A and B are shown apart, each in its own frame.
Chain A
Amino acid sequence: MNKQITLAMGNGGEENNELITKIFYKAFKNEILEKSEDAAVIHNGELAFSTDSFTVNPLFFPGGDIGKLAICGTCNDLAMMGAKPKYLTCSVIIEEGFATRELEKIVRSMKKELEDNGAVVVSGDTKVVPRGSVDKIFINTTGIGVIEKQGISSNNISKEDVILVSRDLGRHGATIFAAREGIELTSDLQSDCASLTHQVQALIKAGVNITALRDATRGGVSAVLNEWAKQSKICIEVNEDTIPVSEEVEGICEMLGFEAVNLANEGTFVLAIKKDDEQKTLDILHSFQNSNNAVKIGNVSDAYLGKVLLLSSYGTKRFLDTPTGELLPRIC
């Protein structure tokens, strides 16, 4: 591993995995941690427990802000384990000189998103550090949720499952990239940042046979699919032309040489569902505005175990790999 930590090690992809495995898993090694799920399942499978830190730049972006993100991020991790978010902690590190009004705006977003999730912040911490020690504001949230459906796990996916995504891909990544790099867009591209609790609760209530759920944050859908393929020792075959991508995101990808499947999302999840429940699942997801273009993108096979295969509409195939490195544009 590198002598210094590089940005690539925080990309949600291969280098990130190496950092986590070689340093944190090695030190903290235990059975629950090693399951490597979105949230830890504790207390006899009754509770889900998760934490996340938020450092997004810019703090306010089309479709959300760091406050909304901080609540959605942790609540979504809990929801992905079939849990209903209940109690959160909120820890904030603020740079000296930060505008109080902006802090209020961020906290208002948090409050609104908490209400939507039916969760409350029950403990918190605030630190103010000298200018330059952090970039404006960093937020950590940790949450506990009550598991309403047990047994959801990315280690149990089989050929009996189909793979779905809840909406079009890459909106958050494309929005942040465009905002950060000052790419002026004459479009209404917005981050997909949203809480997923309601969708997951609806699926559970309808008795959908859920095998695994994961929100496709850093590393995008390709990171999720690759993790699943490895954890469940399966091959996931994806039909390239069924992958939903909006016109705006496609435009940014074409321009900069990205692939939407590698871009981050903050309100988009991947589902592994028993085949028979495909239509039922889609019907439920389509009744929500945030997932009204949910679609099946692939199947599970044993063609190349631990790999994700991308099938083109003209009969060629290739592997979809875990993203590596920093997200950098191609040169020409």
Chain B
Amino acid sequence: MNKLQLKDLYDGFRNPEVIKGFSKLINEEAKQLKYPINIMEVCGGHTHSIMKFGLPQLLPENINFIHGPGCPVCIMPKERIDHAYILAQQEDTILVTLGDMIKVPGSKGSLQDARAKGADVRFVYSPLDTLKIADENPDKKIIFFAIGFETTTPMTTALIDIVLKRGIKNIFFHINHVTVPEVMVELIDSRDEHVDSYNNRIDAFLGPSHVSVITGSKIYEKFPKKYHRPVVVAGFEPVDVMEAILMIVRQFNESRCELEVEYKRSVSYEGNLKAQALIEKYFEKADLFKWRGLGNVPESGYRLRSEYSNIDAEKIYSDILPKEEIEDHKLCICGDILRGMAKPNECTIFGTACKPSTPLGSCMVSSEGACAAYYKYGNLL
């Protein structure tokens, strides 16, 4: 028997014939749609897949994607990047974070700039890699700048758990974890005065599968029930996305409005209860978390519970971390893009003043941001 190869795991989900088959079915069924539908893929990973695989080219004109706010790097407000920048410049300090974060500019510059000026900034694949850095640098303070949605949150809590259980004294945490459902509510039910538009054009949601592996699909219950938006939890391969779109189209054609799971291979209704318990143990919801381009969103971010103040970098360094709000760049329309009111190429600075090498707005920052994805793959479309 041949040994199992990685390709075997994803090949079926990238099979050209299956993709074409779904395209045909969707085009057929979409003819019955009474009006064009806009599907928001909440997660930047989906935006990336949609652009990378060129899926809009396979869909009829009455199905559109609205690229959502689900890139943890893109939504990080300048205030919090400034925190990271300042923390990184403290003496005998190593700031540790995940990949793309080091490119994002705050008001003082990016972590990449801080590093060029001599700060010790490192990126890791797994938060647990921070343990090795702390072990090798016992005389330094290691600050883990934690970012990400529900998918990465349990990894941070696992690190916290180890740090506390082993009594490690030189690892501290700056928590910037955010949650998906709250920002979805914000997008369709906005009361925020920061934003000049109260409209949105979202008819249905594509929910990210990896978030639901942790949280279960239950977190989306209220969207069909209370907000009348169907949600399909979908994987990231092209076949997954195409199947989920077909499921959404069928809901509209059959006048259903439901929560469905396309990614049945790993998502359950309840999710990973152990991971949820760890999050509950160490974190609580902050009243407000500011999202770049969207403003303050209630209950959308986590912070460390007060009993863990001794490892909370935001509290320990509160004297030097600025608290003033910073306005977003005037010409940047990230807020409207995230709400589905505008496409990236409708922005006046798209591709000129704002591009992946010099991003101004949040959506240009990570390869998963809507603007960066458009810049890279989409000027064709």
Contact = CB atoms under 8 A, between A and B. Distances in A.
Interface stretch (A116-124, A198-206, A309-317): A309-317
A4 B112 CA distance: 10
Given A250-B6, A256-B125, A326-B112, A318 B51 contact: yes
Contacts of A254: 6, 10
B132 to A, nearest CB: 8
B102 interface: yes
B112 A332 contact: no
Contacts of A2: 113, 116
Interface stretch (B192-200, B224-232, B372-380): B372-380
How big is the A interface, by class?
35 or more
B317 to A, nearest CB: 24
B72 A328 contact: no
Interface stretch (B34-42, B143-151, B308-316): B143-151
A247 B57 contact: no
A220 B10 CA distance: 24
Given A2-B113, A332-B72, A251 B125 contact: no
Given A4-B117, A314-B16, A315-B57, A325 B125 contact: no
Contact of A5 (B101, B116, B376, B378): B116
A312 B53 contact: yes
Nearest to A311: B54
Nearest to A5: B116
B6 A328 contact: no
Nearest to A259: B52
Contacts of B357: 8, 14-15, 18, 324-325
Contacts of B58: 314-316
Contacts of A313: 16
A24 interface: no
A331 B6 contact: no
A328 B43 CA distance: 19
Contact of A316 (B54, B102, B366, B368): B54
B367 interface: yes
Contacts of B63: none
A331 B178 CA distance: 14
Interface in A289-331: 304, 309, 312-319, 321, 324-326, 328-331
Contact of A331 (B7, B152, B238, B379): B152
Contacts, number: 115
A331 B366 contact: yes
Given A329-B125, A331-B366, A319 B380 contact: yes
A276 B16 CA distance: 30
Contacts of A115: none
A20 interface: no
B54 A332 contact: no
A183 B152 CA distance: 19
A199 B115 CA distance: 42
A6 interface: yes
A318 B112 contact: no
A129 interface: no
Q: Determine the main DSSP class of B at the interface with A.
A: helix
Contacts of B125: 181, 183, 256, 329
A5 B113 CA distance: 9
Contact of B356 (A251, A314, A324, A330): A324
A7 B16 contact: no
Interface string A1-40: 0101111100000110010000000000000000000000
Interface in B349-381: 356-357, 366-368, 375-380
Given A315-B58, A321-B376, A325-B356, A250 B51 contact: no
B71 to A, nearest CB: 8
B5 interface: yes
A331 B73 contact: yes
B113 A4 contact: yes
A325 B103 contact: yes
Max count, chain B CB within 10 A of own CB: residue among A313, A321, A330, A331: A331
B113 A329 contact: no
B10 A318 contact: no
Nearest to B43: A332
B366 to A, nearest CB: 7
B100 interface: yes
Nearest to B355: A324
Interface string B44-80: 1100100111110110000000000001110000000
A318 B356 CA distance: 17
B84 interface: no
Contacts of A312: 16, 53-54
A331 B72 contact: yes
B20 interface: yes
Interface in A65-80: none
A86 to B, nearest CB: 39
A8 B23 CA distance: 39
Contacts of A318: 51-52, 54, 376-378, 380
B98 interface: yes
Contacts of B23: 314
Given A304-B380, A317-B54, A317-B57, 18 more contacts: A6-B112, A6-B115, A14-B357, A181-B125, A183-B125, A247-B5, A250-B7, A251-B6, A256-B125, A257-B367, A314-B58, A316-B55, A319-B379, A321-B375, A329-B123, A331-B147, A332-B44, A332-B45
27 contacts: A2-B113, A4-B116, A7-B115, A250-B7, A251-B6, A254-B6, A257-B367, A309-B380, A312-B53, A312-B54, A315-B58, A317-B380, A318-B380, A319-B377, A321-B375, A325-B356, A326-B112, A328-B103, A330-B48, A330-B366, A331-B71, A331-B147, A331-B366, A332-B44, A332-B45, A332-B72, A332-B148
Interface of A: 2, 4-8, 14-15, 18, 181, 183, 241, 247, 250-251, 254, 256-257, 304, 309, 312-319, 321, 324-326, 328-332
Interface of B: 5-7, 10, 16, 19-20, 23, 43-45, 48, 51-55, 57-58, 71-73, 98-103, 112-113, 115-117, 123, 125, 147-149, 151-152, 210, 238, 356-357, 366-368, 375-380
A-B pairs, top 4 by smallest CB distance, nearest first, are: A316-B54, A4-B116, A314-B16, A313-B16
